[in-house]
Each structure stands twice: as structure tokens, then as C-alpha cells.
Amino acid sequence: MSEGPHRRYNPLADKWVLVSPHRILRPWQGEEQEPEPAPPAHDPDCYLCPGNTRVTGEKNPDFAGVHLFPNDFPAMLKESDGARRKTALFQREDVRGECQVLCFSPDHGKSLPQLSLAGVSQVIDAWCSETGRLGQVFSNVQIFENKGSMMGCSNPHPHGQIWASDHVPDEVRAEDNMQEKHYSDTKQNLLLELAEAEAEAGERVTVENDQWLAIVPYWASWPFETLLLPRFPVARLPELDEQQKIGLAATIRELTIRYDNLFRCSFPYSMGWHGAPFDNAETSHWQLHAHFYPPLLRSASVRKFMVGYEMLAEAQRDLTPEHAAEMLRAVSDVHYRD
Ligand code: H2U
Ligand code: ZN
């Protein structure tokens, strides 16, 4: 019954992962852990709370829902220095970009799984409209959330970031190439085909409704990694209609509640959206999707490190994606704090 070591291929990233299920011999025993105290609704020292002053001295408005502002320490600037260099060994190109910070809620202590459906919908609306606005100017709009100190997040106030750039970054370029290749080889959209196959199989599904599907992908490298897929063709966030956005809010809410309930903690992760770059004229091969990469492995404090073999050879996991999905399905869809 137990599977032996094998490799699985990730056709979206063109990478392999080594799966060693026999290394997890002991059966899963739910971690009994006292939840950490809930953070306060307002922290006078937080630079993202309503009414507080940021590092630059600027004061945040008394916002009620989401709050979007230009990053005070942007990784890219609207103007570039124009310097270029290209030799066989040394290449450099200039970059232009724009970086925004998006506060998900005025409440310092409420992250996505604890927001109402309407609260999550506001975040999604902001993601869609900001992507649409920046996409008129830039080639790529990268939305992401770094959650939890384990992921290097500097502030617990629920927030994400949006970095728009005049170039298409590596991860997106690779996905563009792989989806394009699949489309030209098979005339099928890779991720649309995958969503259908995964909904049919069911064993890696964690959250599902008519429009959206969350799975621990067959080739996941993080223990509880998620690939969030639309079950209809759509290339970019701004193309979602109202019904699709409502379905998405419910899916994200349930997924993040299940994450929090797994180890009864505010589940850390890096998540982000991938959609067709805005300089792609042809998008039939593209399918919008989100990745969630959580670091936790066995408890609120035991994480997986991507070191050693992962750094020098390829990703490796012990827990199978099927087992991880089963664990996420087994926990309640009501948040442990409610
Ligand atoms: P992270 O915690 O995900 O790193 O995000 C915090 C972002 O907020 C970070 O990019 C910005 C930082 O530059 N920031 C401001 O724009 N203004 C501030 O006063 C503090 C932090
Ligand atoms: Zn705050």
C-alpha cells in the first residue's frame, strides 16, 4: 500500500520533485497546541493601522475596508537610469516599475481567513482593479502576500503587495513558455485540462465549488502547497466577472480557514497570482491561477527547509500531496477562533 520513492514532473515550471513517502512512517496525530493569543484590533506601533504614521511621516487615513498606497521603499522606480550592458558574461538591463502596498483590513488582528466574505471580496476587487490599471502601463503585474514572520513578513497587519514591472520576471516567463508549449503540442489549455482532471480524480482537491478548485498539486514541493484554479477559461484577474469573484472569495476564505485550522495557528505562507503578461497579444494558452507556498510541515513550529538536496539537486518531499490534501479536507471549515 505504501508508495516507494519516485519523482513527479511539474509541467508548469518544467521541474521535478523527489517524493519519498516511506520517510513518513508514523501515522498523523493531530498536534495539541494552545492557540497563541489573538493580536489586538489596533496596534499603536503598527505602520499599517488606520490613523497611524508610516516611516515617512505620512499618516494613514481612517480606512474602513482595504487601503492601497504606494510602497515607501519601492523595489523598482517609475524611471530607470537607462544603463545597459551586454557581453557574454555580464548582462544588465534597466528596469522600470511601480510598487503598491494593499492593507486587507483596518483590523490589525484579522487576516484573510477571519474576514467576512464581503471583506475578502474587497481584497479581490482591489487586486483586479489595480492589476487592470497597472497592466495598461507595465508588462507584468505581480500580486503577492507574505504572511507570518516565518516567511520574513515585517508586519503582522494583514497586507499584501503589488509589484508591476516593464519586464516579465523569470517565474512568469517560465510558465508562459510551458503553457505555450502545451498548447501548441496538444491544442489544450494546460491548467484548464488539469482542473478538469483533478476535479474528476478528487484525491488532491481541498476546496471546490462550481467555479474554482484548490488542489495540492501532484508535483507540489512544499508540504501543504496549493494551486488555486478557475474551472473556466480566464487569462487575467481583471477579466473575472462578479459571480466569479464571489466564488473566489468563498474559495480563498475556506482554503485559508482550513490552513489555520490544520495546526491551530495563523498559517504562514507566500501566495501570489499568475496571469498572462500584458505584453502577450495571444493568451489562449494562459490560465489565471494562484500559488500558495506554506512552509509548515508538522506543527505550528516545525517547518520544512528547502536546503541541502533541494538547493543542490531538486525539491524533495516526504508527505505525499494526496495525504496533505486529505489532512486539509479533514479539518473544519469553521475557523478555530470562532
Ligand atoms: P512585508 O511585510 O510583506 O515586507 O511588507 C511591508 C511593506 O510595507 C514593505 O515592502 C512597506 C515596506 O517597504 N512599508 C511602507 O511602504 N511604509 C512604511 O512606513 C513601512 C513599510
Ligand atoms: Zn496594524
- Encode pLDDT of 171-180 as tens digits: 999 999 999 9
What integer pLDDT is reported at residue 154 of this predicted model?
78
| Ligand in closest contact with the CA of 39 | 2
Q: How far is the CA of 75 from the centre of ligand 1 (A)?
A: 11
- Alpha-carbon distance of 219 to 197, in angstroms, equals 14
**What dihedral do alpha carbons 70, 71, 74, 78 form, nearest 10°?**
0
* pLDDT surpassing 60 at residue 320: yes
Q: Cell numbers 507574505 label which residue? A: 146
Please write the tens of the pLDDT for every residue from 211-241: 999 999 999 999 999 999 999 999 999 999 9
Report the separation in Å between the CA atom of 209 and the middle of ligand 1, taken as the mean of its atom positions. 34
**Catalytic residue (one of 159, 182, 289, 291):** 159
Q: Is 170's pLDDT higher than 50? A: yes
Alpha carbon distance 65, 103 (integer Å): 8
With a 6 Å cutoff on the Cβ, whether 54 touches ligand 1 is: yes
What is the distance between the alpha carbons of residues 129 and 123, in angstroms, rounded to a whole number?
A: 10
Quick one: pLDDT at residue 1?
47
Confidence at residue 294, expressed as pLDDT on a 0 to 100 scale: 98
71 Cβ closer than 6 Å to some ligand 1 atom: yes
Q: What single letter denotes the amino acid at residue 186? A: T
C-alpha cell at 18: 523527489
Q: What is the pLDDT of residues 253-277, one digit of tens each?
A: 999 999 999 999 999 999 999 999 9
Q: What is the pTM of this model?
A: 0.96
The closest ligand to the CA of 102 turns out to be: 1
- Indicate if ligand 1 lies below 6 Å from the C-beta of 88: no
Q: Which three cell numbers stand for residue 121?
A: 471580496
Atom of ligand 1 nearest to the CA of 56: 19
Written as one string, the DSSP assignment of 103-170 is: E--S-TT--GGGS-HHHHHHHHHHHHHHHHHHHTT-SEEEEEEEESGGGT-S--SSEEEEEEESS--H
Q: Tell me, what's the pLDDT at 25?
A: 58
Which pLDDT belongs to residue 80?
86
pLDDT at 36: 76
- Calculate what percentage of the chain has a pLDDT beyond 90: 88
Q: Can you spell out the DSSP letters for 179-199?
A: HHHHHHHHSS-HHHHHHHHHH
> How many angstroms does the Cα of residue 67 sit away from the middle of ligand 1?
13
Q: How much is the average pLDDT of 314-331?
A: 97
CA 76 to chain centre: 21
What's the pLDDT tens digit per position in 90-146? 999 999 999 999 999 999 999 999 999 999 999 999 999 999 999 999 999 999 999
Averaged confidence pLDDT in the chain: 94
Q: What angle do CA 121, 196, 230 make, to 5 degrees?
A: 20
Distance (Å, rounded) from C-alpha 293 to C-alpha 302? 15
Q: Which atom of ligand 1 is nearest to the CA of 73?
A: 13
Residue 237 is given by DSSP the state G
Cell of 288: 489565471
Residue to substitute in 101, 104, 157 for testing ligand 1 pocket (most ligand atoms within 8 angstroms of CB): 101
CA–centroid distance, residue 90 to ligand 2 (Å): 43
How do residues 18-60 score in pLDDT, each as one tens digit? 999 987 655 545 545 566 788 899 999 999 999 999 999 999 9
Neighbour tally for 113: CB within 10 Å = 23
Q: Answer whether 45 contacts ligand 1 (Cβ < 6 A).
A: no
Q: Count the neighbouring beta carbons within 10 Å of the beta carbon of residue 102.
A: 20
Give catalytic status of residue 108 as yes or no: no
Check residues 240 and 84 and name the one with the higher pLDDT.
240
The Cα 31–Cα 46 span in angstroms is: 31
> Sign of dihedral through CA atoms 156, 132, 117, 288?
negative
As a dihedral over the C-alpha atoms of residue 225, residue 229, residue 234, residue 237, rounded to 10 degrees, the angle is -50
At 153 the pLDDT is 87
* Window from 104-108, 152-156, 294-298 with minimum mean pLDDT: 152-156
- Does 144 sit in the ligand 1 pocket, CB within 6 Å? no
The residues, any chain, with a CB within 8 Å of residue 138's CB and separated by 6 or more, are: 96, 97, 98, 164, 165, 166, 278
Nearest CA to ligand 1 atom 13: 73
Is-contact 179 189, C-beta < 8 A? yes
Give the model's pLDDT for residue 86. Answer: 86
Q: Concatenated DSSP letters for 254-318?
A: HHHHHHHHHHTS---EEEEEE---TT-S--TT---EEEEE--BSSSSS-B----THHHHT-EEES
Ligand in nearest proximity to the CA of 53: 1
Ligand 1 lined by 327 (C-beta under 6 Å): no
199 lines ligand 1 (CB under 6 A): no
